[in-house]
């Protein structure tokens, strides 16, 4: 199967059936074996911090062999020796989310009952399912309590669900660039990405494993996603409008293949490698999990949803994040305050956009001081 699994990833297989939250056509859905992939760093005797990843990341949050190479892992600037999530002080674990393609069970996993990848026969995955699968691994590892759960974007969804589902197990939750529900903008852009994948001529209703993979559709989906990850202001700063070719658009029948602007070239640059590595069905499943995440709908109201939370909560957002604007974090704060919970919001003054939590300079200069304080109190 396609996999972004790193060589250090450990995959634990559980023989007991795993039951999913969402019924399909009135039927309970299960898989006979659950696989959960994870990596960990630090002393096993130290307090445990769980890192939950965002949509397209994986278990490889940091690389201790290359602590200053931010291209080898996705959160090295946050996780590692002397970083905010300090692997010298904490036992840090990162788990691949259920439905992904980094080693944990998902549509690319081979169904032991058929000998073929599940494809679209894999059960519908909720954020709660992801968290329950992570808790099974925590129990297997003998972990009795989490010092903190931290995650960005979809990882923040998981952090909130950890606080709700296992209030006695978690001391702190830190949703970063996240929310308690998907707003209409997310729902619309996720729909475009799903349609881009499923409209690819080789998608074959998700059963493409014996032939060509729908890389073109996945690449287009990734380009759509990327346009939501940085702010319009940052796009103007990042990209120049000078044409890279003196050919005029519409000069010939092949004009649509000419990348005339730096921004166009960059979209192609970031999407093509991703489309060769990630599983398209996994992208569909994770986008659907994101789209249907809404704690108020699941629990009745947002205030009722967060009522079980006992963990101290710090929400981190950024002023320039147009995908997860700050108001979404303040919605969670107000719901927690209604229940007299210990909570705060840290708003980072930065115009980068949603991906601010992955940018080394922003992490080191603007996030780390708040996070170090919160983890130590």
pLDDT at residue 252 greater than cutoff 60: no
Q: For residue 345, report the phi and psi dihedrals to the nearest 5 degrees.
A: -120, 130
Confidence at residue 85, expressed as pLDDT on a 0 to 100 scale: 98
Write down the catalytic residue from 38, 209, 292, 354. 354
Q: What is the pLDDT of residues 55-111, one digit of tens each?
A: 999 999 999 988 888 888 999 999 999 999 999 999 999 999 999 999 999 999 999
User: What tokens were used for 319?
Assistant: 């002023």
How far apart are alpha carbons 195 and 245 in whole angstroms?
A: 31
Write down the catalytic residue from 86, 129, 279, 321. 321
Mean pLDDT for the stretch of residues 130-152: 98
Write down the catalytic residue from 56, 73, 126, 153. 153
Domain coordinates of the chain in residue numbers?
A: 10-183+297-376
pLDDT at residue 244 greater than cutoff 60: no
* 354 is annotated as an active-site residue: yes
Q: Is the pTM of this model over 0.85?
A: yes
Q: How many Cα atoms sit within 13 Å of 349 on the Cβ side?
A: 0
* 245 is annotated as an active-site residue: no
How far apart are alpha carbons 182 and 226 in whole angstroms?
A: 17
Confidence at residue 364, expressed as pLDDT on a 0 to 100 scale: 96
How far apart are alpha carbons 271 and 290 in whole angstroms?
A: 20
Give the torsion through C-alpha atoms of 285, 289, 292, 295, to 10 deg. 170
Confidence at residue 303, expressed as pLDDT on a 0 to 100 scale: 98
Q: What is the pLDDT of residues 276-297, one digit of tens each?
A: 889 999 999 999 999 999 999 9
195 three-class SS: helix
pLDDT at residue 3 greater than cutoff 80: no
pLDDT at residue 192 greater than cutoff 60: yes
The CATH architecture annotation of domain 10-183+297-376 reads 3-Layer(aba) Sandwich (3.40)
């Amino acid at each position: 199967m396609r996999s972004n699994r790193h060589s250090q990833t450990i995959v634990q297989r559980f023989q007991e059936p795993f039951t999913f939250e969402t019924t399909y056509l009135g039927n309970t859905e299960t898989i006979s074996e659950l696989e959960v992939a994870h990596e960990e760093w630090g002393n096993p005797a130290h307090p445990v911090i769980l890192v939950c990843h965002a949509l397209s990341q994986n278990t490889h949050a940091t690389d201790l062999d290359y602590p200053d190479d931010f291209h080898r892992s996705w959160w090295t600037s946050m996780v590692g020796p002397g970083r905010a999530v300090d692997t010298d002080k904490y036992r840090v674990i990162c788990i691949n989310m259920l439905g992904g393609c980094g080693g944990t069970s998902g549509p690319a996993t081979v169904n032991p009952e058929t000998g073929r990848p599940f494809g679209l026969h894999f059960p519908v995955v909720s954020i709660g399912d992801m968290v329950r699968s992570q808790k099974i691994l925590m129990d297997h590892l003998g972990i009795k309590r989490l010092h903190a759960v931290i995650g960005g974007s979809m990882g923040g969804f998981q952090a909130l669900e950890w606080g709700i589902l296992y209030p006695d197990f978690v001391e702190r939750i830190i949703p970063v660039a996240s929310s308690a529900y998907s707003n209409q903008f997310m729902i619309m852009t996720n729909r475009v990405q799903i349609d881009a994948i499923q409209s690819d001529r080789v998608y074959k209703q998700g059963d493409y494993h014996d032939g060509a993979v729908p890389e073109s559709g996945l690449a287009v989906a990734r380009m759509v996603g990327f346009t939501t990850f940085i702010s319009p202001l940052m796009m103007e700063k990042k990209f120049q409008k000078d044409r890279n070719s003196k050919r005029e658009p519409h000069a010939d029948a092949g004009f649509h293949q000419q990348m005339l602007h730096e921004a166009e070239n960059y979209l192609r640059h970031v999407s093509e490698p991703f489309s060769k590595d990630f599983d398209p069905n996994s992208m569909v499943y994770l986008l659907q999990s994101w789209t249907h995440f809404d704690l108020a709908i699941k629990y009745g109201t947002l205030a009722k949803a967060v009522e079980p939370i006992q963990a101290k909560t710090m929400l981190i957002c950024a002023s320039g994040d147009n995908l997860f604007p700050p108001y979404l974090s303040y919605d969670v704060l107000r719901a927690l305050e209604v229940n007299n919970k210990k909570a705060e919001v840290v708003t980072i003054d930065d115009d980068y956009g949603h991906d601010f939590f992955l940018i080394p300079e922003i992490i080191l200069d603007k996030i780390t001081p708040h996070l170090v304080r919160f983890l130590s109190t």
